[in-house]
Structure 1
Amino acid sequence: MKRLFPLKSGDTLGVCAPSARFDIEKLNLGIQILENLGFKVKVPKEIFKKKRYLAGDDMLRASVINNLFLDPDIDGIICARGGFGAMRILDHLNWKRIKQNPKPFIGFSDSTAILLSIISETGTPVIHGPTVVSFATAQKETIDSFYKILMGSFDKIEITNGQIIKPGECTGVLKGGNISTISHLLGTRFQPDFKDSILFLEDIGEPAYKIDRMLTQMKMAGLFKGIQGVITGVFKDCDNDEYIEEILSEIFDPYNVPILSGLDSGHGKVNLPLYMGIDIEMDTKKIAKIHWI
């Protein structure tokens, strides 16, 4: 899979809300930051609907995404926030339309369900990166790297404070995201295929034993067969996070692949964007780094 054409100043980002309801004040702050970066922002009125904890019913949330992909004036699509709800709309997304109108789709956390499904259903790469609401409190490093990746100039990350759990070099398609969301796709037709992939994992608010349980389930389901490497992001507010490296070592040791933890991507203070669905090189021998090919 080849990366999408980079965007340019003045291009339009469409906002979707595939998951939970959001704070309107934070949304507006995030929109202001996107506009300060030089993007136009289109906010469909439908995303302000409410149903329980969701941003409207399933068909409505899906139709916003379908329409943004079809709209020729939209150059990229960014999620309002995460939470829960993205997997509920997977059956309502128009995969043929999405494949015929490729454009950057950006989100993380609960949006992992859509990111991985776009890759598998259409062959289109995606961006695991900040949502509009998260921009309201984003640090400069997050904002700058987001701009660079959309402009096509963010090709390498050196992980200076990471932990090399198992050294080595590998090449593969970068895929992954939120562990909890991935685990709930098991047994569905949207279960991801990680063969020949470098697997990225992150989560928030999950104690170590739950991360252990979810990874063990994935392993027993055969989800990790054929992986080329593992890199983990932030495990924010996870009880007993001092156990995480040991858990990762135990889970992935049978696959004899490089394992690196500590990438500033996910729910931490810094959320570096990751181009997923295309090949990267990962090196953990000397300076821990990943490089998009």
Structure 2
Amino acid sequence: MLKGKILKKGNTIGIVAPANSDSKDKILRSKDKLENLGYKVKLGKHIFDTWHSFAGTDKNRVSDINNFFEDPEIDAIMCLRGGYGSIRIVKDLDIEMIKKNPKIFIGYSDITTIHSALNQKAGLITFHGPMASSNFFNIEKFTLDSFIESMENNEPREIKNPVELKSMTGGKASGIVIGGNLTTLMGDIRTPNELNFKEKILFIEEIREPTYKIDRILTQLLNSGKLSQLNGIILGDFNRCIPASEYDMSLMDLFEDRLKNLGIPIIYNFKSGHCKPMVTLPLGIELEIDGDRLTIRSLEGAVR
């Protein structure tokens, strides 16, 4: 897998908006926050654009990403926020150019579809981590520390969680970690970005989806045979994912019903996703999960 260079203070972060935009004030204040942390910041040419609900046209949003990968002054690319829109532009990423210019790429939520494309088609390690206006606008210490450790550490390490991890099934498993937002992942099925689940560690998170919808997605993944190919699962934060009625399963009942019989290590209570604080998780690296010791370890550095 390709790796971006270690991100140090004084390096330049380029901010892009692949999906929805934000207010000019919030964008500029997020930029100031990153600069106050010691980074240089360059805004995408179209970051203030609007087109319907999007941060500019599809063509302009993807051009900002491609341009920053090609720009030698940019050391890392951070998404402004999620929302919706990444799936409309992912086919126009310049994959061959990106392979020649591997850089840190950071985001989550709707950005999952770009992670999948960069991981699978470009062979680039990316980062499921905090975004400019979603997180750096008002960032917590743990979230910032986790981000910095991921950007600056090129050695194997234990990935710290702000609370104790929990295990649904014990045992140890290793593999390349894939995933992100569950609903967004399903949007990639039967497209060129569809992830290969074979012998992988799957990480998933979600926000504001009733449990029956999560049931539907997990059942589809079960029926397709994808989940049975996995070596292990990490359940991230499922923010406000509650039963729609008194008859629906609770979230944990659903996970146990759909996942426990896979017979693979499953760790949950991992605080990455739509939550505060938030763990930065590199995607595309070799990872080890231990359901007995309740640890998640990277077996390689995510940067070079």
TM-score, structure 1 normalization: 0.94
Distance (Å, rounded) in 2 between the aligned partners of 1:91 and 1:182: 15
1:145 aligns to 2:146 (yes or no): yes
CA distance in 2, matches of 1:41, 1:152: 21
Q: Are 1:157 and 2:146 counterparts?
A: no
Which deviates further from its counterpart, 240-249 or 124-133? 240-249
Q: Structure 1 residues 254 and 98, CA, compared in 2 at 3 Å: closer, same or farther?
A: same
Q: 2:8 maps to which residue?
A: 8
**SS of 1:122's equivalent?**
coil
Are the counterparts in 2 of residues 245 and 261 from structure 1 also a CA contact under 8 Å?
no
User: What SS does the aligned partner of 2:121 have?
Assistant: helix
Deviates more, 1:216-225 or 1:151-160: 151-160
Equivalent residue number for residue 88 of structure 2: 88
TM-superposed deviation, 1:220: 2.1
Report what 2:203 is aligned to: 200
Task: Say yes or no: does 1:250 pair with 2:251.
Answer: no
Gaps of 5+ in 2: 300-304
Residue range with higher mean Cα deviation, 206-215 or 240-249:
240-249
| AA at the equivalent of 1:152 | N
Superposed, 1:1-293 pairs within 5 Å as 1=1, 3-134=3-134, 135-152=136-153, 155-159=157-161, 160-240=163-243, 243-286=250-293, 288-293=294-299
* Aligned mates of 1:27, 1:148 — CA distance in 2: 24
Which stretch of the first structure deviates more once superposed, 230-239 or 81-90? 230-239
Contact 1:265 1:273 in 2 (8 A): yes
Q: Can you list the C-alpha shifts for 1:168-222, whole angstroms capped at 9, x where unaligned? A: 1111111110001001111212111121211101011101111111111222233
Q: Deviations over 1:141-185 (max 9, x none)?
A: 101211121111683224443321111111111111000100111
Preserved CA contact (<8 Å) 1:3 1:278: no
- Cα shift readout 1:3-29 (whole Å, capped 9, x = no counterpart): 433122211011111001213322223
- Larger mean Cα displacement after TM superposition, 64-73 or 190-199: 190-199
- Report the alpha carbon displacement of residue 256 of structure 1 after superposing the two structures with TM: 1.3
For residue 261 of structure 1, report the CA deviation from its aligned partner: 0.9
Aligned amino acid, residue 40 of structure 1: K
Provide the C-alpha distance between the structure 2 equivalents of 1:230 and 1:165, rounded to a whole number of angstroms.
Answer: 10
Question: 1:171 is matched by which residue type in structure 2?
Answer: S
Tell me how large the CA RMSD over aligned residues is: 1.7
SS of the equivalent of 1:47 reads coil
**Residues 15, 79 of structure 1: 8 Å contact kept:** yes
Measured after TM superposition, the shift of residue 137 of structure 1 is: 2.6
Alpha-carbon distance, 1:249 to partner: 2.3
Cα distance in structure 1, aligned partners of 2:51 and 2:2 = 38
Q: Distance in 2 between matches of 1:275 and 1:214?
A: 24
Task: Give me the whole-angstrom Cα distance separating, in 1, the residues matched to 2:275 and 2:8.
Answer: 28
**Alignment coverage as a number of residue pairs:** 292
Aligned residue type for 2:218:
L
Q: Is the 2:12–2:75 Cα contact (8 Å) retained in structure 1?
A: yes
Report the CA distance between 1:223 and its aligned residue.
2.6
Write the letter of the residue equivalent to 2:202. Answer: L
- Percent identity over the alignment? 37
Structure 1 letter corresponding to 2:16? C
